[in-house]
Every structure is written in C-alpha cells, then in structure tokens.
Structure 1
C-alpha cells in the first residue's frame, strides 16, 4: 500500500514549476544555470522559515530544464518570484536582457522590457513582523531606557528637569549648526560685496 507521504512527495515533485518568465535553457551556460539552481536550493529553506519550521518537503531545481520545486514543511509553496536570488528571479533578469537585445536600437522598447517586467520583490510581505500599539509616553520611556544614541540635532529636553547637562550638550550641537549657517551666509555676502567693489 502506498503511503500518504510518498504520494504527497510524488505530487510535490511533479509540481516542480518553471520560472514565471520562459527562456531557452540552452541560451544560458550550464555553469550559470547550476549557480542559479544553487541559489534556488539555498533560498527555499530560508523563505520557508518565515512561515514554518523544519526542512522543506521539496527543495529541488533542475538546471537542464530550469524547473524547480519548493514545498515548505507545512505543505505550502511560496511564490518564489517575490524574492531575489531565486530561479524565477534569475530567469526574469535574463529574460529582460534578451528582451533588450531583441529591441535593437529602439530605446522605448528596451525601457519597456525592464519597467513593465520588474524582477524580484516589488512590495514584499513582512510575514514575521510584529505590531504593537503603545502610548507615546511608554514608547519614549522604552527608547530612552534602551540606551538611545542621540545625534545632537533634537532639542533633547526631557521635560522633567533631569539630564540638563545632556540636554544642553544636544542643544549645543544644533546651535553650532545654526552658527555655521549664519557664518557661511555672511562669508558669501562679504565675498560678493568685495567682488562688486573690486569691479567698480
């Protein structure tokens, strides 16, 4: 009797898909196709880790036919065209190169090849991103406690009367920039005036 897992693996392997854009595999050197497949097999487990744990059920890539399979341990197949350094990405980039070559000297055609057919992530989904809602005072407290690095451009006042030395130091940085701006304007004005007087 054939087990469910064996059947599933066979179906997963049969579901190996070609890249979204088609190119003749023979138009790319075998060494380059092998490098593309290496990238595909390297990135499949990393992409799967965004939604699940464990090794992928299928992580295959055939450099002869430029087909691949990536089935995560939860049975889902990520859309590999949404990522860079995957087989669909490499094929899409090469498709764009070939499209530009076919356009010859037609610049509008060549621009369309790239602009209307972007490769890789355009607006990637943030699967592992967490969102929290906190009050402004709690956020200010947590960032101050986290050892925030100050750049000296804010006013730096905490509003509680503490850390006056730190606030003064931060204000000093902004003050120096304002002084530099004024001094620079005065120098330019003096130079223009001296040039005008010398011209007369």
Structure 2
C-alpha cells in the first residue's frame, strides 16, 4: 500500500514548470517532450546526490502535460531550474525559441527574449565542497564529490587538474609546436 506521505509528496511535487516560461505542450513534438522527461528522470537522482544519499522519494515526469516531480530521500525538493538537462531548462529554452520566432524580424525583441530570460543556473552553488590541506605543498586544495556541473572551470579551485588547464597550455604552446614541426619538415627537404 502506498503511504499517505508519499502520495502527498508526489502530488505536491508534480508541479507545472515555472509559470514565467509556460509553453503549450502540444507546440513541441511528443518525441522531444519524452526525451526531455527521460533527461529529467535521469537528472533528479544525480542532483539529489548533492545533499543526500539514496534514491529520490519522488522522481516523475509527464511528457503529455510537462509536469515533473523530484523529491530527494531527505524530503527536500532541489531547485531543478538551476540545472541543464531538466524539464524546466528545456521548457525555458523552448519558450525562448518561441519568443524569438514571435518577434519576427525585430532583432531587439529577439535579443531580449534570450538576454532578459536566461535559462539554467546563473551563479551555481557548490553544495558538496570540502577543503583539505596538503602538507607537501602547504596549500589548500578545494575538492568536491558528486558535483553536477558542466562546462570548463577556470582551474583555480581544482589545482589546474581539469581540462581548462590543458586548453590554456594548448593555447600557449600549440602554435610554437606546429611552427617548429613545419620548420623541421622544411629543413629536412633542403
């Protein structure tokens, strides 16, 4: 038998996506809405790992009505709109697409659709950040576990151990390596 608390949580969490970004579900192909819901259901457990362990109490998404529910095992509802690959993010993005389309050839209007209504996190909070000190280098290194971030960080908080550091190295020395290789190749021809 389903508990009253779980039923109440499911009903409370099956919220429509933010009223600021309402779109008619029928304006998006069902296959796209189903993909959005698959991403939403996949994202909820990962997002919940930011603050708790265990599977979510509620993890639902209805592609027909564009409603979802995500309640973590500690009973809290994370702010899903702060993440990509979630239903609110997709609805916000589609709202922007429809807004731009409705603007026609008015570039100012189209620009305002995106700039005045950004989607996803503007200033993401690192929920599980811990600081440890390393005695060999006598510096504090920030480490995090189970983070949900995308894109490249600047590397300063992770001791330049991420892809951004490699890209900066490539920017700095890539041209010199290519030029040196070309010079060596032409030198062998002579």
TM over 0.5: yes
Unaligned runs of 5+ in 1: 141-147, 150-176, 178-200
Contact 2:43 2:85 in 1 (8 A): yes
Offset at residue 6 of structure 1 (A): 1.1
Matches within 5 A, 1:98-113: 98-113=98-113
Matches within 5 A, 1:12-27: 12-15=9-12, 16-20=14-18, 21-27=21-27
For these two proteins, the number of residue pairs brought into alignment is 140
Q: What are the Cα deviations for residues 103-143 of structure 1, in whole angstroms up to 9, with x where unaligned?
A: 11111110010001111111111001113578996229xxx
- Secondary structure in 1 matching 2:120: coil
> Quick one: structure 1 residues 111 and 7, their matched pair in 2 at CA, closer, same or farther if it must change by over 3 Å?
same
Answer yes or no: is 1:7 the counterpart of 2:7.
no
Q: Which has the higher strand share?
A: 2
Answer yes or no: is 1:42 the counterpart of 2:42.
yes
- Structure 2 residue aligned with 1:53: 53
Counterpart Cα distance in 2 of 1:6 and 1:124: 34
Contact 2:133 2:139 in 1 (8 A): no
Q: What are the Cα deviations for residues 59-107 of structure 1, in whole angstroms up to 9, with x where unaligned?
A: 0000000000000000000010000010000000000000001111111
Unaligned runs of 5+ in 2: 141-159, 162-175, 177-190
Q: How big is the alpha-carbon RMSD for the aligned residues of Structure 1 and Structure 2?
A: 2.4
TM-score, length basis structure 2 = 0.68
* Rg (Cα) greater in structure: 1
TM-score, length basis structure 1 = 0.65
